[in-house]
Amino acid sequence: MEQRNLGRSGLRVSLVGLGCNNFGVRVDQAGTRAVVHKALDAGITLFDTADVYGERRSEGFLAEALGERRKDIVLATKFGLPMDPEGRLKGGSRRYIMTAVEASLTRLKTDWIDLYQYHRPDPLTPLEETLRALEDLVRQGKVRYLGCSNLPAWQVVEAQWLARSGGLTGFVSCQDEYSLLARGPERDLLPAMQAHGLGLLPYYPLASGLLTGKHRRDGSTFAGTRLATTQVFKDLFVRDANWTKVEALRGFADARGHTLLELAMSWLAARPTVSSIIAGATRPEQIEANVKATGWALTPEDLAAIDKLLA
Protein backbone atom coordinates (compact mmCIF):
# COMPACT_ATOMS: atom_id res chain seq x y z
CA MET A 1 0.00 0.00 0.00
CA GLU A 2 1.37 3.40 -0.99
CA GLN A 3 1.92 5.78 1.92
CA ARG A 4 1.68 9.56 1.56
CA ASN A 5 2.30 12.52 3.81
CA LEU A 6 -0.87 14.25 4.96
CA GLY A 7 -0.29 17.63 3.36
CA ARG A 8 3.03 19.12 4.42
CA SER A 9 2.84 17.44 7.81
CA GLY A 10 4.97 14.48 8.83
CA LEU A 11 1.93 12.26 9.33
CA ARG A 12 2.00 9.34 6.90
CA VAL A 13 -1.26 7.77 5.77
CA SER A 14 -2.23 4.99 3.36
CA LEU A 15 -3.41 6.06 -0.09
CA VAL A 16 -6.69 4.24 0.57
CA GLY A 17 -8.28 4.92 3.93
CA LEU A 18 -11.24 3.20 5.56
CA GLY A 19 -14.37 5.26 6.17
CA CYS A 20 -16.13 3.88 9.24
CA ASN A 21 -19.53 5.56 8.88
CA ASN A 22 -21.26 2.22 8.25
CA PHE A 23 -20.18 0.69 11.56
CA GLY A 24 -23.08 0.51 13.98
CA VAL A 25 -25.81 0.97 11.37
CA ARG A 26 -25.28 -1.12 8.24
CA VAL A 27 -22.54 -3.28 9.78
CA ASP A 28 -22.78 -5.07 13.14
CA GLN A 29 -19.86 -5.75 15.48
CA ALA A 30 -18.89 -9.03 13.82
CA GLY A 31 -19.04 -7.41 10.39
CA THR A 32 -17.01 -4.46 11.64
CA ARG A 33 -14.31 -6.81 12.89
CA ALA A 34 -14.15 -8.59 9.54
CA VAL A 35 -13.88 -5.31 7.58
CA VAL A 36 -11.31 -3.78 9.93
CA HIS A 37 -9.09 -6.86 9.95
CA LYS A 38 -9.22 -7.06 6.16
CA ALA A 39 -8.22 -3.40 5.97
CA LEU A 40 -5.28 -4.01 8.31
CA ASP A 41 -4.18 -7.00 6.23
CA ALA A 42 -4.39 -4.88 3.08
CA GLY A 43 -2.05 -2.26 4.51
CA ILE A 44 -4.64 0.43 5.25
CA THR A 45 -3.42 2.63 8.07
CA LEU A 46 -5.93 5.51 8.08
CA PHE A 47 -9.23 4.74 9.80
CA ASP A 48 -11.69 7.62 9.68
CA THR A 49 -14.72 7.86 11.94
CA ALA A 50 -16.73 10.53 13.77
CA ASP A 51 -18.59 10.81 17.05
CA VAL A 52 -21.95 10.88 15.22
CA TYR A 53 -21.30 8.01 12.80
CA GLY A 54 -23.30 4.82 13.05
CA GLU A 55 -25.92 6.52 15.21
CA ARG A 56 -23.08 7.33 17.63
CA ARG A 57 -21.85 3.73 17.73
CA SER A 58 -19.07 3.76 15.13
CA GLU A 59 -16.25 4.85 17.45
CA GLY A 60 -17.06 2.07 19.92
CA PHE A 61 -17.41 -0.57 17.22
CA LEU A 62 -14.08 0.47 15.72
CA ALA A 63 -12.31 0.36 19.08
CA GLU A 64 -13.54 -3.16 19.77
CA ALA A 65 -12.45 -4.35 16.33
CA LEU A 66 -8.99 -2.78 16.54
CA GLY A 67 -8.04 -3.97 20.00
CA GLU A 68 -4.27 -3.97 20.39
CA ARG A 69 -3.87 -2.94 16.75
CA ARG A 70 -4.94 0.60 17.59
CA LYS A 71 -1.26 1.54 18.01
CA ASP A 72 -0.55 0.44 14.42
CA ILE A 73 -2.96 2.84 12.73
CA VAL A 74 -3.70 6.52 12.20
CA LEU A 75 -6.96 7.05 14.05
CA ALA A 76 -9.05 9.97 12.80
CA THR A 77 -12.33 11.15 14.24
CA LYS A 78 -14.45 14.31 14.16
CA PHE A 79 -16.49 16.58 16.39
CA GLY A 80 -19.05 19.30 15.85
CA LEU A 81 -22.26 17.71 14.54
CA PRO A 82 -25.21 17.32 16.94
CA MET A 83 -24.87 14.45 19.41
CA ASP A 84 -28.30 14.85 21.00
CA PRO A 85 -31.85 15.23 19.64
CA GLU A 86 -32.14 18.76 21.01
CA GLY A 87 -29.02 19.93 19.19
CA ARG A 88 -27.28 21.27 22.29
CA LEU A 89 -24.23 19.00 22.11
CA LYS A 90 -22.55 20.33 19.01
CA GLY A 91 -20.38 23.05 17.57
CA GLY A 92 -16.89 24.46 17.96
CA SER A 93 -17.01 26.21 21.33
CA ARG A 94 -14.30 25.60 23.93
CA ARG A 95 -16.92 24.27 26.33
CA TYR A 96 -18.19 21.69 23.87
CA ILE A 97 -14.80 20.64 22.44
CA MET A 98 -13.42 19.79 25.88
CA THR A 99 -16.42 17.54 26.52
CA ALA A 100 -16.49 16.01 23.03
CA VAL A 101 -12.85 14.93 23.00
CA GLU A 102 -13.14 13.14 26.33
CA ALA A 103 -16.22 11.28 25.14
CA SER A 104 -14.48 10.22 21.91
CA LEU A 105 -11.36 9.08 23.78
CA THR A 106 -13.55 6.95 26.03
CA ARG A 107 -15.49 5.37 23.17
CA LEU A 108 -12.30 4.78 21.17
CA LYS A 109 -10.51 3.29 24.21
CA THR A 110 -7.39 5.30 23.52
CA ASP A 111 -5.30 8.00 25.16
CA TRP A 112 -4.84 10.04 21.99
CA ILE A 113 -6.42 10.84 18.63
CA ASP A 114 -4.05 11.05 15.68
CA LEU A 115 -6.22 13.38 13.58
CA TYR A 116 -9.03 15.37 15.23
CA GLN A 117 -11.27 17.03 12.67
CA TYR A 118 -13.70 19.93 12.93
CA HIS A 119 -16.70 18.33 11.21
CA ARG A 120 -18.64 21.41 10.12
CA PRO A 121 -18.29 25.16 10.69
CA ASP A 122 -20.13 26.63 13.65
CA PRO A 123 -21.43 30.13 12.80
CA LEU A 124 -22.04 30.87 16.51
CA THR A 125 -18.42 30.40 17.59
CA PRO A 126 -15.42 32.50 16.54
CA LEU A 127 -12.94 30.34 14.65
CA GLU A 128 -10.12 31.58 16.88
CA GLU A 129 -11.90 30.16 19.95
CA THR A 130 -12.12 26.77 18.25
CA LEU A 131 -8.45 26.82 17.28
CA ARG A 132 -7.29 27.85 20.76
CA ALA A 133 -9.29 25.04 22.35
CA LEU A 134 -7.81 22.56 19.88
CA GLU A 135 -4.33 23.93 20.61
CA ASP A 136 -4.82 23.03 24.26
CA LEU A 137 -5.69 19.46 23.28
CA VAL A 138 -2.50 19.20 21.24
CA ARG A 139 -0.42 20.55 24.14
CA GLN A 140 -2.10 18.05 26.49
CA GLY A 141 -1.15 15.18 24.17
CA LYS A 142 -4.77 14.14 23.60
CA VAL A 143 -4.64 15.14 19.93
CA ARG A 144 -1.64 14.99 17.57
CA TYR A 145 -2.84 16.63 14.35
CA LEU A 146 -5.81 18.80 13.44
CA GLY A 147 -8.03 18.73 10.38
CA CYS A 148 -11.24 20.27 9.15
CA SER A 149 -14.17 19.08 7.09
CA ASN A 150 -16.75 20.94 5.00
CA LEU A 151 -15.26 24.37 5.62
CA PRO A 152 -15.47 26.82 2.71
CA ALA A 153 -12.15 27.83 1.16
CA TRP A 154 -12.18 31.31 2.72
CA GLN A 155 -12.59 29.84 6.20
CA VAL A 156 -9.78 27.35 5.63
CA VAL A 157 -7.52 30.25 4.70
CA GLU A 158 -8.70 32.25 7.72
CA ALA A 159 -7.95 29.30 10.00
CA GLN A 160 -4.41 29.00 8.68
CA TRP A 161 -3.84 32.74 9.07
CA LEU A 162 -5.14 32.68 12.65
CA ALA A 163 -2.91 29.73 13.48
CA ARG A 164 0.23 31.30 12.05
CA SER A 165 -0.35 34.76 13.46
CA GLY A 166 -1.36 33.42 16.87
CA GLY A 167 1.28 30.73 17.24
CA LEU A 168 -1.35 27.99 17.19
CA THR A 169 -1.42 24.53 15.66
CA GLY A 170 -3.07 24.76 12.25
CA PHE A 171 -5.02 22.29 10.21
CA VAL A 172 -3.04 19.78 8.14
CA SER A 173 -5.97 18.42 6.14
CA CYS A 174 -9.43 19.01 4.74
CA GLN A 175 -12.01 16.27 4.35
CA ASP A 176 -14.56 17.13 1.68
CA GLU A 177 -16.73 15.47 -0.95
CA TYR A 178 -14.68 15.01 -4.12
CA SER A 179 -15.07 12.58 -6.98
CA LEU A 180 -15.49 12.39 -10.74
CA LEU A 181 -19.09 13.44 -10.15
CA ALA A 182 -18.39 16.14 -7.54
CA ARG A 183 -15.58 18.45 -8.59
CA GLY A 184 -16.69 21.58 -6.76
CA PRO A 185 -13.53 21.77 -4.58
CA GLU A 186 -11.47 22.49 -7.69
CA ARG A 187 -12.90 26.03 -7.94
CA ASP A 188 -11.61 27.49 -4.67
CA LEU A 189 -10.77 24.88 -2.06
CA LEU A 190 -8.00 22.96 -3.85
CA PRO A 191 -6.07 26.10 -4.83
CA ALA A 192 -6.29 27.32 -1.21
CA MET A 193 -5.12 23.94 0.07
CA GLN A 194 -2.19 23.87 -2.31
CA ALA A 195 -1.16 27.36 -1.23
CA HIS A 196 -1.26 26.41 2.45
CA GLY A 197 0.10 22.86 2.20
CA LEU A 198 -3.01 20.97 3.26
CA GLY A 199 -3.80 17.38 2.33
CA LEU A 200 -7.20 16.40 0.96
CA LEU A 201 -9.13 13.40 2.28
CA PRO A 202 -11.95 12.92 -0.26
CA TYR A 203 -15.16 11.38 1.02
CA TYR A 204 -17.90 9.86 -1.18
CA PRO A 205 -15.15 8.98 -3.70
CA LEU A 206 -17.49 6.48 -5.39
CA ALA A 207 -20.62 8.65 -5.22
CA SER A 208 -22.40 6.17 -2.94
CA GLY A 209 -21.78 3.35 -5.42
CA LEU A 210 -22.54 5.07 -8.74
CA LEU A 211 -18.84 4.98 -9.64
CA THR A 212 -18.31 1.31 -8.77
CA GLY A 213 -19.69 0.22 -12.14
CA LYS A 214 -22.25 -2.14 -10.64
CA HIS A 215 -25.30 0.10 -10.89
CA ARG A 216 -27.57 0.81 -13.85
CA ARG A 217 -29.82 3.75 -14.62
CA ASP A 218 -33.06 1.75 -14.19
CA GLY A 219 -32.31 1.20 -10.49
CA SER A 220 -32.54 -2.59 -10.75
CA THR A 221 -29.17 -2.97 -8.99
CA PHE A 222 -29.93 -0.79 -5.95
CA ALA A 223 -31.38 -3.54 -3.73
CA GLY A 224 -29.55 -3.81 -0.42
CA THR A 225 -27.51 -0.64 -0.95
CA ARG A 226 -27.74 2.84 0.58
CA LEU A 227 -29.32 4.07 -2.63
CA ALA A 228 -32.29 1.81 -1.89
CA THR A 229 -32.53 2.31 1.87
CA THR A 230 -31.51 5.93 2.42
CA GLN A 231 -33.46 8.58 0.55
CA VAL A 232 -30.94 11.33 1.21
CA PHE A 233 -28.25 9.45 -0.71
CA LYS A 234 -30.63 8.67 -3.54
CA ASP A 235 -31.59 12.34 -3.79
CA LEU A 236 -27.95 13.39 -3.68
CA PHE A 237 -26.56 11.07 -6.34
CA VAL A 238 -29.27 9.52 -8.51
CA ARG A 239 -29.72 12.19 -11.17
CA ASP A 240 -29.92 12.05 -14.95
CA ALA A 241 -26.85 14.27 -15.32
CA ASN A 242 -24.83 11.89 -13.16
CA TRP A 243 -25.99 8.84 -15.12
CA THR A 244 -24.91 10.50 -18.36
CA LYS A 245 -21.44 11.08 -16.91
CA VAL A 246 -21.24 7.57 -15.44
CA GLU A 247 -22.06 5.98 -18.78
CA ALA A 248 -19.46 8.10 -20.58
CA LEU A 249 -16.82 7.29 -17.95
CA ARG A 250 -17.64 3.58 -18.08
CA GLY A 251 -17.09 3.66 -21.83
CA PHE A 252 -13.76 5.45 -21.35
CA ALA A 253 -12.56 2.82 -18.87
CA ASP A 254 -13.83 -0.13 -20.91
CA ALA A 255 -12.01 1.10 -24.01
CA ARG A 256 -8.75 1.01 -22.07
CA GLY A 257 -9.25 -2.37 -20.42
CA HIS A 258 -10.13 -1.03 -16.98
CA THR A 259 -13.20 -0.82 -14.77
CA LEU A 260 -15.14 2.25 -13.72
CA LEU A 261 -14.06 1.59 -10.13
CA GLU A 262 -10.42 1.66 -11.17
CA LEU A 263 -10.99 4.91 -13.02
CA ALA A 264 -12.73 6.58 -10.07
CA MET A 265 -10.07 5.60 -7.52
CA SER A 266 -7.03 6.10 -9.75
CA TRP A 267 -8.28 9.51 -10.90
CA LEU A 268 -8.47 10.66 -7.28
CA ALA A 269 -5.02 9.21 -6.57
CA ALA A 270 -3.65 11.37 -9.40
CA ARG A 271 -5.24 14.62 -8.20
CA PRO A 272 -3.11 17.29 -6.51
CA THR A 273 -3.37 17.52 -2.70
CA VAL A 274 -5.04 14.08 -2.31
CA SER A 275 -3.34 12.23 0.54
CA SER A 276 -5.78 9.38 1.25
CA ILE A 277 -9.07 8.38 -0.32
CA ILE A 278 -11.70 7.72 2.35
CA ALA A 279 -13.72 4.77 1.06
CA GLY A 280 -16.33 3.03 3.18
CA ALA A 281 -16.97 -0.71 3.13
CA THR A 282 -19.59 -3.07 4.48
CA ARG A 283 -17.86 -6.29 3.38
CA PRO A 284 -14.20 -7.40 3.38
CA GLU A 285 -14.16 -7.99 -0.39
CA GLN A 286 -14.89 -4.30 -0.96
CA ILE A 287 -11.66 -3.44 0.84
CA GLU A 288 -9.64 -5.59 -1.55
CA ALA A 289 -11.36 -4.10 -4.59
CA ASN A 290 -10.82 -0.51 -3.44
CA VAL A 291 -7.13 -1.07 -2.73
CA LYS A 292 -6.49 -2.72 -6.10
CA ALA A 293 -8.41 0.02 -7.91
CA THR A 294 -5.73 2.67 -7.37
CA GLY A 295 -3.21 0.90 -9.61
CA TRP A 296 -4.07 2.56 -12.94
CA ALA A 297 -1.41 5.17 -13.72
CA LEU A 298 -3.40 7.74 -15.69
CA THR A 299 -1.42 9.75 -18.23
CA PRO A 300 -1.78 13.52 -18.77
CA GLU A 301 -3.61 12.63 -21.98
CA ASP A 302 -6.03 10.41 -20.05
CA LEU A 303 -6.73 13.18 -17.55
CA ALA A 304 -7.33 15.71 -20.33
CA ALA A 305 -9.73 13.31 -22.04
CA ILE A 306 -11.64 12.80 -18.79
CA ASP A 307 -11.94 16.55 -18.32
CA LYS A 308 -13.37 16.81 -21.80
CA LEU A 309 -15.88 14.02 -21.13
CA LEU A 310 -17.13 15.77 -18.00
CA ALA A 311 -17.18 19.31 -19.39
The conformational region for residue 52 under phi > 0 = left, psi -120 to 50 = alpha, else beta, is alpha
Answer yes or no: is 88 within a domain. Answer: yes
Q: Does this model's pTM top 0.85?
A: yes
Among 178, 220, 212, 183, which residue's Cα sits nearest to residue 281? Answer: 212
User: What is the C-alpha separation between 230 and 22, in angstroms, rounded?
Assistant: 12
Answer yes or no: is 73 within a domain. Answer: yes
Determine the 3-state secondary structure of 26 from DSSP.
coil
Answer yes or no: is 41 within a domain. Answer: yes
Among 253, 245, 215, 252, which residue's Cα sits nearest to residue 233? Answer: 215
Determine the 3-state secondary structure of 75 from DSSP.
strand
> What are residue 182's DSSP bridge partners?
179
Answer yes or no: is 241 within a domain. Answer: no
CATH no. for residue 153? Answer: 3.20.20.100
Domains contained in the chain, number: 1
Contact 51, 106 (CB under 8 A): no
Query: Which residues form the domain of 104?
Result: 3-209+260-298
Reading the chain (311 residues) residue by residue, the pLDDT tens digits are 999 999 999 999 999 999 999 999 999 999 999 999 999 999 999 999 999 999 999 999 999 999 999 999 999 999 999 999 888 999 999 999 999 999 999 999 999 999 999 999 999 999 999 999 999 999 999 999 999 999 999 999 999 999 999 999 999 999 999 999 999 999 999 999 999 999 999 999 999 888 987 766 665 556 666 655 666 666 667 677 888 999 999 999 999 999 999 999 999 999 999 999 999 999 999 999 999 999 999 999 999 999 999 98
Active site residue 53: yes
Q: What is the CA radius of gyration of the chain?
A: 19
Contact 76, 46 (CB under 8 A): yes
User: What is the C-alpha separation between 121 and 270, in angstroms, rounded?
Assistant: 28
Number of separate helices (H) and strands (E) present in the chain: 13, 10
Give Cα 87 distance to the centre of its chain. 24
Please report, as a single letter, which amino acid is at residue 54: G
Answer yes or no: is 236 within a domain. Answer: no
Answer yes or no: is 193 within a domain. Answer: yes
Answer yes or no: is 78 within a domain. Answer: yes
Answer yes or no: is 221 within a domain. Answer: no
Determine the 3-state secondary structure of 108 from DSSP.
helix
Give 220's contacts (C-beta < 8 A, 6+ positions apart). Answer: none
